[in-house]
Amino acid sequence: MAPIGTHRRAKTTRRKRRDASASRAGNSDRHWTFRKSGRVKVLQSAALSKQKWLAHGFSTRTGGASSLPASIWQKNAAAVLNLGFSDWDVRASVEENRRRFAKALGAAGMKMVPLRQFHSDVIHVIDSAPGDPLCGDALITRTPKLLLAVQTADCIPILLADPENRVVAAIHAGWRGTLKRIAEKTIGRMRMLFGSRPERIIAALGPGIARCCYEVGPEVVKDFASQFDAARDWFDGPYDALVSGEDPNPLPWLSMMPPGHQPPEPRAQLDLHAANRAILERAGVLAKNIDASSFCTSCRTDLFFSYRREKITGRLMAAIGIL
């Protein structure tokens, strides 16, 4: 059993992270608003809300018909807005949650188009709702009444809108999709098929796990370093040592660990919001046209689902469509 002081330090660290996240949200999220429909609450970007020809929003966990089992983080079973078909949930509850979410967005009459996501750079351009969910991690359309939707529980949801040509896109960007530049490739497809000009595109990056809570191992750090010149700016921790493969503890016998026990593998903290913002700007999107929420899903499990923190949890949804 860990010493009592260890538990206290862990609780203090989590509280500091949560307070830091709330502080950042107070600054970065001042242009974001919550929209309520009954007990359902959705987060909306001010930049996208100005576009009266579209509906959009990022879900929270409140106001749902699903009963999430109790966990070490959530002590009691709770009614949540789970928008993904999970082993612990029933299909009828998820379908009711999706109906409530669409209503909260003002998109009750639209056809929701979700994906079977697999952390790829596969992009689908659609002009009608498919019979079965497509496999991929991004959707594009300029057909009205289609509500493009991606699911997350820590990964970054990205919504794009081209007001000039009335084209919209929804993107799921975990670290693998970010590494593959799925946001840049989605903009490239919009340019090629619809003549979208990147400097006119509006982008909203929704809630996801933030740098404060997102630890990754050496392989992920090396992958990003090999693909992005600016990768160093997106990490906290022993970046150079992880990239070079140098042992940060060359004298393990000085670590006071028992014989045969090595210190844990060094890790770094990745900022997926910063990485995707840089990728969007590289693709030609103007910095002033990018809204990025600073809510951390891991810090704010009172509002959002976090797979990293909760393990057994629901799925959030980001959606956008042309009215």
CB atoms within 10 A of CB 79: 15
* Contact predicate 296/228, CB 8 Å: no
Q: What is the pTM of this model?
A: 0.89
pLDDT of 179: 98
Residue 153 forms part of a structural domain: yes
Residue 229 forms part of a structural domain: no
Nearest to 115 by CA among 150, 155, 162: 150
**Residue 289's CATH number:** 3.60.140.10
Residue 190 forms part of a structural domain: yes
pLDDT of 56: 98
Q: Which two tokens stand for residue 263?
A: 């210190």
Q: Which residues pair with 156 in a beta bridge?
A: 173
Residue 255 forms part of a structural domain: no
Residue 193 forms part of a structural domain: yes
The range of the structural domain enclosing residue 170 comes to 32-214+271-322
Residue 231 forms part of a structural domain: no
Task: Compute CA 96 distance to the chain's CA centroid, rounded to the nearest angstrom.
Answer: 23
Altogether, the residues listed in the chain come to a count of 323
pLDDT tens per residue across all 323 residues of the chain: 344 444 444 444 444 544 444 444 434 567 799 999 999 999 999 999 999 999 999 999 999 999 998 776 666 667 999 999 999 999 999 999 999 999 999 999 999 999 999 999 999 999 999 999 999 999 999 999 999 999 999 999 999 999 999 999 999 999 999 999 999 999 999 999 999 999 999 999 999 999 999 999 999 999 999 999 999 999 999 999 999 987 655 555 555 666 556 667 789 999 999 999 999 999 999 999 999 999 999 999 999 999 999 999 999 999 999 99
The three-state secondary structure class of 243 is helix
Residue 262 forms part of a structural domain: no
Count how many domains the chain has. Answer: 1
pLDDT of 78: 79
> Which helix (H) or strand (E) is 54 found in, with range?
strand 54-59
pLDDT of 66: 97
What is the Cα–Cα distance from 161 to 201, expressed in whole angstroms? 6
Residue 222 forms part of a structural domain: no
pLDDT of 28: 54
Q: Is 134 exposed, middle or buried (0-12, 13-18, 19+ CB in 10 A)?
A: middle
